[in-house]
A and B are shown apart, each in its own frame.
Chain A
Amino acid sequence: MDKYLEFTGIGKSYPGVKALDDISFRAEGGKVLALLGENGAGKSTLLKIMSGDQQANEGTVSLSGETLSLSSPAQAIKAGISVIYQERQLIPSMSVMENVFLGALPSKNGFIDYKKLRADTVALIEEFGLPILPETPAMFLSIAHQQMVEIMKAYRRDSAVIAFDEPTAPLTDTEISTLFRIIRELRGKGKIVIYVSHRLKEIFEITDEIVVLKDGRYVATLQTSATSEPELIAAMVGRDIGDTYANLSRNEKYGDVLLEVRGLTTDMLRSVSFNIRAGEVVGFAGLVGSGRTEVMRAIFGADAIDSGEIKFDGETVKFRAPKDAIERGVALCPEDRKEQGLVLWRSIEDNIIMPVLAKLKKGIFLDPKASEDLAINEVERYSIKTPTVDKIVAELSGGNQQKVILGRWTNKLMKTKLLILDEPTKGIDVGTKAEIYQMVCDFAKQGMAVIFISSELTEVINVADRILVMHDGEIKGDLTREEATEENVLALAMSE
């Protein structure tokens, strides 16, 4: 008889929010079960309860009929449960091998046995097929590789249950296929695999069963092979959202060239040149590490430029800091929300008003009413799930945190002419994604130029009017939406 993990009547409350309410279902061994639901539906909370990080107020979790006591992460690991969180948990200054074997470092005579540690890690790295070294400190790895290390860490524990919370958000296709190979292998070994993602494509590709949650409540269990995208979305959102891309109402008329980049070179970029007109939505495609983010940071004044010229709004500009760029009307919504985006321990309001503090003055003081109004406006526009705007951002679900950053960079006091969105839909649910795509088009209609970066290829080629493909610090192609099929873009992204 295969193993199974059973949730019975799980309930969890936070002040002012019922995150989970009477959740019961069963996950079976040898199957991959998807947890699906809108932002704030309670998926991560459920995983945190499994991992012993949070305790349920009601209900029990049992493994093959045996009720588990999950009052700490250590207990959960001992019981055979590994969870890969939405937010990375690596220790930045420690090496890959130490991170992977954290809590189970091999020892000999009371000392760490580095030889064995290294050998074991090398074996794992090879199994995963990654281009990384065991000695590298985690902070020097790309976000994608950090995520893979996180997965190796859970994998090597050989737990009976392994749960992934949006594992592919920071990954590109190469790593995703590795991850899926690993997941299939786990399934083959009869493990219980739980998989959380907002990407329906992946859910159809890798899972066997889907549990849908809504507002903390259980909605339904569906067999992946017997359901369809519309059916899933309807269960999740409670309404039909139609064909996201076909229904977009796009901007038709472009203005003058707004941004002109000539021969931009840094240690990561080689002579990057391109133009963007006002009212245009330009997508940047490419693999992780292809230099998309670096181009944006250079334009924004966040990184120094070795050579090259940037013309913005008819003038040659040299932004020495993001501050200068913002003053001229450039906004950059960064890809890494935890490191570069959010001030986690401050309120939603503080996070939203950050770039427009100067405009919220009343005499020498900040205007508290105006700033609360601005925040409320954004919270409503993006339907951020929170009772008040003074809730600290750390308490929001991942997708809602992402919405706070979007709210900041698109708030109505920003006088943005060029909006750069680096992975804006990371962790955002399907319903809201559709709304964000439309917003992007609306910004373009208002005359803004929008740069849209995403690792999800489908998204880039369907939202953008024009797609620039990058590879290894260079621009390899400039395609219109009509020309940009997935094959064309990928071929360019991997060209040598």
Chain B
Amino acid sequence: MEQQRVSRLQRIVRSKAFTLFVLLAVLILGFGFLSPVIKRGAMFFHSNTLKTTLQDLSIPAFLAIGAGCLMVSGSLDFSQARVGAFGGIIVAAGIQWWGLNWGAAIIIALALSAIIGLVNAILVNELKFQPFIATMAMSSVIYSVMYLVATDRTGQIQSTINFTNEGLTKIIDWNLKIGSFELPGTVLLLLAAFVVYGLLLSKTRFGRQLYLIGGNATAARLSGIDAKKTSYFLFINCSVLSGLAGIIYTGRTRQGSLLALANDQFTGMTAAILGGISFGGGSGGMGGAFLGLLVIKTFSKGLAIINVNTYLTNVLSGALLLAALTFDYFSQRSQRKRIGI
């Protein structure tokens, strides 16, 4: 049979990213035109909306990247939010109680995050725990350790540790001025991260290996792909990125908190799933995860602007996730049905 080359346009239109892009456009236009109608004075189309939405994005973005890479390879990590909180606590306690400078505190926090990732990887690869169980257990362990760290000299547990440090604040709150618009530095960092990890997944050998492992780990091993090494990298990577998210949170709020990121516990994974990285592994990509995240955050931002209360917002966000999962389920099922397996 004559082999046709695959056109780029075909690839794009068939992709999940395309669907998300449309969904995002609908949300933006919908909120944009409806917000003044629903609530007097509410303006979705405002330069501030963009800035704050982007700012809200940076923390779950790092979670989404870490989770997304793991999920592509058919694994997952439920300890993300706790690792982040832990990183934050270390930075806060380091600066405020232990007299470290902010750079050293950050390095220690990231190194500890990496160790947690390493332990996760050992639990999964050497002791053969299910990733779900291993990382859940890890999550509780971290929580207990955080209590120890957050116990001050008088023996009181501080659920938040406030600190002041100009250097760190300056870095975290740095903005890039483009005319009158200020682009937060953290947003630049997250965009860069998405680009780098996006390229890693879609264009490199390492990335391709992740998909093949996620698709069929046995076949991948028999084809000479080192799934173990990859798994170690992914768990450590995921933990370090979670730690980074926690540090940004801490820097922004100027406090380490035991409950930091608790709201974002599932945001990373949700964004990844919305973006087409399914739990089974082997599919999706960073572009999708980024769009998924934009959809989630645009949605919650829009609801906030038209003043929907927090509880209802949570319910509606849950509904959005359910809708996305249902859509995913049916599109996968129809694909399987079409193929007949």
Are A383 and B341 in contact, with the CB atoms below 8 A? no
User: Using an 8 Å CB-CB cutoff, how does the interface string of A340-353 with B read, 1 for contact, 0 for none?
Assistant: 11111110001001
Distance in Å: Cβ of A335 to nearest Cβ of chain B: 11
Distance in Å: Cβ of B218 to nearest Cβ of chain A: 5
Are A394 and B339 in contact, with the CB atoms below 8 A? yes
Q: In the docked arrangement, what's the CA distance between A365 and B211, Å?
A: 15
- Interface window among A148-156, A355-363, A450-458: A355-363
Distance in Å: Cβ of B239 to nearest Cβ of chain A: 24
Chain B residues whose CB sits within 8 angstroms of the CB of A360 once the complex forms: 205
A178 interface residue per 8 A CB criterion: no
B338 interface residue per 8 A CB criterion: yes
Chain A residues whose CB sits within 8 angstroms of the CB of B3 once the complex forms: 376, 379-380, 387-389
- Give the A interface residue count (CB, 8 A): 49
User: Using an 8 Å CB-CB cutoff, how does the interface string of B9-20 with A read, 1 for contact, 0 for none?
Assistant: 001000000000
Are B215 and A343 in contact, with the CB atoms below 8 A? yes
Are A343 and B219 in contact, with the CB atoms below 8 A? yes
| Given known contacts A53-B340, A360-B205, A366-B208, A322 and B221 CB-to-CB distance under 8 angstroms | yes
B315 interface residue per 8 A CB criterion: no
Residue of B whose beta carbon sits closest to that of A385: B1
Are B340 and A48 in contact, with the CB atoms below 8 A? yes
Chain A residues whose CB sits within 8 angstroms of the CB of B224 once the complex forms: 321-323, 325-327, 354-355
Residue of B whose beta carbon sits closest to that of A366: B205
Name the prevailing secondary structure of the A interface residues: mixed
Distance in Å: Cβ of A30 to nearest Cβ of chain B: 30
Chain A residues whose CB sits within 8 angstroms of the CB of B339 once the complex forms: 392, 394-395
Distance in Å: Cβ of A403 to nearest Cβ of chain B: 12
| Given known contacts A376-B3, A388-B3, A394 and B341 CB-to-CB distance under 8 angstroms | yes
A334 interface residue per 8 A CB criterion: yes
Q: In the docked arrangement, what's the CA distance between A357 and B283, Å?
A: 18
Distance in Å: Cβ of B148 to nearest Cβ of chain A: 40
Q: In the docked arrangement, what's the CA distance between A386 and B3, Å?
A: 8
Q: In the docked arrangement, what's the CA distance between A361 and B207, Å?
A: 13
Residue of B whose beta carbon sits closest to that of A51: B340
B66 interface residue per 8 A CB criterion: no
Chain A residues whose CB sits within 8 angstroms of the CB of B4 once the complex forms: 387-388
Are B222 and A322 in contact, with the CB atoms below 8 A? yes
Distance in Å: Cβ of A88 to nearest Cβ of chain B: 11
Are B216 and A344 in contact, with the CB atoms below 8 A? yes
Are B203 and A366 in contact, with the CB atoms below 8 A? yes
| Given known contacts A354-B212, A386-B1, A390-B6, A340 and B283 CB-to-CB distance under 8 angstroms | no
Are B203 and A343 in contact, with the CB atoms below 8 A? no
Residue of B whose beta carbon sits closest to that of A302: B222
| Given known contacts A350-B211, A366-B205, A87 and B220 CB-to-CB distance under 8 angstroms | no
Distance in Å: Cβ of A226 to nearest Cβ of chain B: 34
Distance in Å: Cβ of A330 to nearest Cβ of chain B: 10
Residues from 206 to 233 in B contacting A, C-beta threshold 8 Å? 208-209, 211-212, 215-216, 218-226
B282 interface residue per 8 A CB criterion: yes
Residue of B whose beta carbon sits closest to that of A396: B339
A408 interface residue per 8 A CB criterion: yes
B153 interface residue per 8 A CB criterion: no
Distance in Å: Cβ of B7 to nearest Cβ of chain A: 10
Chain A residues whose CB sits within 8 angstroms of the CB of B225 once the complex forms: 323, 354, 357
Distance in Å: Cβ of B63 to nearest Cβ of chain A: 26
Are B199 and A54 in contact, with the CB atoms below 8 A? no
Distance in Å: Cβ of B293 to nearest Cβ of chain A: 24
Are A339 and B205 in contact, with the CB atoms below 8 A? no
A461 interface residue per 8 A CB criterion: no
| Number of interchain pairs (Cβ within 8 Å) | 102
Q: In the docked arrangement, what's the CA distance between A20 and B208, Å?
A: 35
Chain B residues whose CB sits within 8 angstroms of the CB of A111 once the complex forms: none
The size class of the interface chain B forms with chain A is 20 to 34
B309 interface residue per 8 A CB criterion: no
A124 interface residue per 8 A CB criterion: no
Are B6 and A87 in contact, with the CB atoms below 8 A? no
Are A334 and B222 in contact, with the CB atoms below 8 A? yes
Residue of A whose beta carbon sits closest to that of B216: A343
Residue of B whose beta carbon sits closest to that of A343: B215
User: Using an 8 Å CB-CB cutoff, how does the interface string of A217-247 with B read, 1 for contact, 0 for none?
Assistant: 0000000000000000000000000000000
Are B6 and A355 in contact, with the CB atoms below 8 A? no
Chain A residues whose CB sits within 8 angstroms of the CB of B215 once the complex forms: 343-346
Are B218 and A339 in contact, with the CB atoms below 8 A? yes
B5 interface residue per 8 A CB criterion: yes
Q: In the docked arrangement, what's the CA distance between A300 and B222, Å?
A: 9
User: Using an 8 Å CB-CB cutoff, how does the interface string of A1-42 with B read, 1 for contact, 0 for none?
Assistant: 000000000000010000000000000000000000000000
Are B204 and A365 in contact, with the CB atoms below 8 A? yes
Distance in Å: Cβ of A413 to nearest Cβ of chain B: 13
Are A388 and B205 in contact, with the CB atoms below 8 A? no
A104 interface residue per 8 A CB criterion: no
Q: In the docked arrangement, what's the CA distance between A322 and B341, Å?
A: 29
| Given known contacts A321-B221, A379-B3, A388-B6, A357 and B216 CB-to-CB distance under 8 angstroms | no
Q: CB < 8 Å: which of A321, A332, A389 contacts B226? A: A321
Are B208 and A350 in contact, with the CB atoms below 8 A? yes
Chain A residues whose CB sits within 8 angstroms of the CB of B341 once the complex forms: 87, 344, 394
Are B283 and A342 in contact, with the CB atoms below 8 A? no
| Given known contacts A54-B340, A379-B3, A354 and B203 CB-to-CB distance under 8 angstroms | no
| Given known contacts A372-B5, A385-B1, A323 and B226 CB-to-CB distance under 8 angstroms | yes
Distance in Å: Cβ of B267 to nearest Cβ of chain A: 26
Chain B residues whose CB sits within 8 angstroms of the CB of A361 once the complex forms: 205
Q: In the docked arrangement, what's the CA distance between A470 and B56, Å?
A: 66
Distance in Å: Cβ of B341 to nearest Cβ of chain A: 6
Q: In the docked arrangement, what's the CA distance between A54 and B341, Å?
A: 10
Are A383 and B1 in contact, with the CB atoms below 8 A? yes
Chain A residues whose CB sits within 8 angstroms of the CB of B5 once the complex forms: 372, 388
Q: In the docked arrangement, what's the CA distance between A354 and B283, Å?
A: 16
Q: In the docked arrangement, what's the CA distance between A339 and B219, Å?
A: 7
Q: In the docked arrangement, what's the CA distance between A408 and B225, Å?
A: 14
Chain B residues whose CB sits within 8 angstroms of the CB of A357 once the complex forms: 205, 208-209, 225
Distance in Å: Cβ of A488 to nearest Cβ of chain B: 33
Are A387 and B1 in contact, with the CB atoms below 8 A? yes
Residues from 107 to 128 in B contacting A, C-beta threshold 8 Å? none
Are A341 and B205 in contact, with the CB atoms below 8 A? no
User: Using an 8 Å CB-CB cutoff, how does the interface string of A296-334 with B read, 1 for contact, 0 for none?
Assistant: 000010100000000000000000011101110000101
Are A366 and B223 in contact, with the CB atoms below 8 A? no
Q: In the docked arrangement, what's the CA distance between A356 and B223, Å?
A: 9
Distance in Å: Cβ of B187 to nearest Cβ of chain A: 26
Residues from 395 to 440 in A contacting B, C-beta threshold 8 Å? 395, 408
Distance in Å: Cβ of A66 to nearest Cβ of chain B: 25
Q: In the docked arrangement, what's the CA distance between A357 and B215, Å?
A: 16
Q: CB < 8 Å: which of A354, A366, A388 contacts B204? A: A366
Distance in Å: Cβ of B257 to nearest Cβ of chain A: 39
A residues in contact (CB < 8 Å) with B: 14, 48, 53-54, 87, 300, 302, 321-323, 325-327, 332, 334, 339-346, 350, 353-355, 357-358, 360-361, 364-366, 372, 376, 379-380, 383, 385-390, 392, 394-395, 408
Known: A323-B224, A342-B219, A385-B1. 7 other contacts (CB 8 A): A322-B223, A326-B223, A341-B219, A343-B216, A354-B225, A366-B203, A392-B339
> Could you write out 6 A-B pairs with CB less than 8 Å apart?
A53-B340, A339-B218, A341-B219, A344-B215, A383-B1, A394-B341
Q: Which 8 A-B pairs have the closest CB atoms?
A: A343-B215, A354-B223, A326-B224, A323-B224, A365-B203, A343-B216, A357-B205, A355-B223
